[in-house]
């Protein structure tokens, strides 16, 4: 893996100035370190022709070894992994497992694994998430829903996960700004979302995404597949901060501010500047 662009950590030597093209795990962790809290980053993968899933409707059929290396690192760095219930079902999400080897050191002073936060408007708990943890130290599970789910569905979710593990935020839709604040209040300020594409679109529209990490794998698949954002149109401007390459795979970080370096916004400040495009009347 080699560094193509690094506007994140100036202490890492750029290519051609004595730096190595081999980016070890310690350097990779520095390049992907959270700049502060609260901070919500998304991590997505795409083919060259823009498909966010493979022919089977899953990301597992398009990702590769460089992507998996960064995927597991971002989970090790995060306090919480936020995912839509539909994606959790399609991808077979379970409770996050603790990182292995040296990456376990990245969690010093925190829970052994990040929490899994499932967003479900209907308060439906995916079966793989409800299942008992398969690994010692696996992360806790929170379900986030809204009042539209109804009292019976919320009660059923609490019977499955526990009263404190089900959050009702918002009325007709999940209030994603309130979710960010709730996670911060619980000490989960370093947030990673893995989508899916509809949830990521909603997070961008809510103005709470600070960063998008994107892996572009070097092949095309054609067909009809979702992009990394789907749903009603939304526009947002991001700035490239990091670009890595390995075997034709590109891995990058784009943030809401070109000047964002060592600190994140606090409280209720805005994130990515976005405009939701309303459909014609």
Hey, what are 92's tokens? 């077979």
Rounded to whole angstroms, how far apart are CA atoms 259 and 246? Answer: 27
Domain interval for residue 174: 36-259
Burial label, 275 (beta-carbon count in 10 A; 0-12, 13-18, 19+)? exposed
The answer to the question of residue 139 being in a domain is: yes
To the nearest whole percent, how much of the chain has pLDDT over 70? 89
Average pLDDT over residues 86-102: 92
DSSP state of 215: E
Indicate if the pLDDT at residue 266 is higher than 50: no
The answer to the question of residue 15 being in a domain is: no
Domain count, the chain: 1
Hey, what are 7's tokens? 């506007």
Average pLDDT over residues 215-232: 94
- Whichever domain contains 157, its CATH number is 3.40.430.10
The answer to the question of residue 250 being in a domain is: yes
CB environment 223-240: b (16+ within 10 A), e (fewer): eebbebbeeeebebebee
Average pLDDT over residues 213-232: 95
Residue 13 — very low, low, confident or very high, per pLDDT cuts 50/70/90? confident
Hey, what are 71's tokens? 């995927």
The answer to the question of residue 106 being in a domain is: yes
CA distances 141 to 82, 127, 183, Å, are: 10, 12, 12
| Chain segment 52-88, per-residue pLDDT in tens | 999 888 898 899 999 999 999 999 999 999 999 999 9
Indicate if the pLDDT at residue 269 is higher than 80: no
Q: What is the pLDDT of residue 49?
A: 95
Dihedral over Cα of 147, 148, 154, 157: its sign:
negative
Rounded to whole angstroms, how far apart are CA atoms 73 and 67? Answer: 10
The answer to the question of residue 180 being in a domain is: yes
Q: What is the pLDDT of residue 257?
A: 75
The answer to the question of residue 29 being in a domain is: no
CA distances 96 to 35, 38, 110, 132, 248, Å, are: 23, 21, 14, 12, 29
The answer to the question of residue 187 being in a domain is: yes
Q: What is the pLDDT of residue 131?
A: 86
Q: What is the pLDDT of residue 30?
A: 95
Looking up tokens 């967003």 gives 119
| Chain segment 104-125, per-residue pLDDT in tens | 999 999 999 999 999 999 999 9
Average pLDDT over residues 13-32: 78
């Amino acid at each position: 893996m080699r560094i193509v662009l690094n506007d994140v950590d100036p202490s890492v030597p750029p290519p051609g100035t004595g730096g190595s093209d081999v980016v070890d795990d310690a350097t990779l962790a520095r390049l992907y370190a959270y700049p502060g809290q609260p901070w919500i980053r998304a991590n997505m993968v795409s083919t060259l022709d823009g498909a966010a899933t493979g022919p089977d409707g899953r990301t597992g059929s398009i990702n590769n070894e460089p992507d998996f290396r960064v995927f597991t690192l971002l989970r090790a760095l995060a306090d919480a992994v936020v995912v839509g219930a539909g994606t959790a079902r399609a991808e077979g999400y379970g409770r996050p497992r603790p990182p292995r080897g040296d990456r376990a050191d990245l969690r010093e002073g925190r829970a052994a694994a990040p929490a899994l936060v499932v967003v479900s408007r209907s308060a439906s708990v995916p079966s793989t998430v409800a299942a008992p943890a398969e690994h010692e130290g696996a992360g806790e599970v929170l379900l986030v829903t809204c009042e539209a789910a109804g009292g019976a569905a919320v009660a059923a979710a609490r019977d499955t996960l526990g009263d404190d593990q089900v959050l009702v935020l918002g009325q007709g839709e999940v209030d994603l700004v309130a979710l960010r604040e709730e996670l911060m209040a619980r000490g989960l300020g370093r947030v990673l979302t893995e989508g899916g594409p509809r949830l990521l679109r909603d997070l961008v529209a809510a103005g709470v995404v600070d960063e998008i990490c994107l892996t572009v794998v070097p092949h095309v698949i054609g067909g009809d597949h979702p992009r990394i954002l789907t749903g009603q149109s939304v526009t947002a401007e991001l700035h490239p901060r990091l670009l890595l390459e390995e075997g034709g795979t590109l891995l990058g970080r784009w943030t809401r501010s070109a000047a964002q370096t060592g600190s994140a916004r606090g409280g209720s400040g805005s994130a990515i500047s976005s405009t939701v495009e309303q459909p014609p009347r």
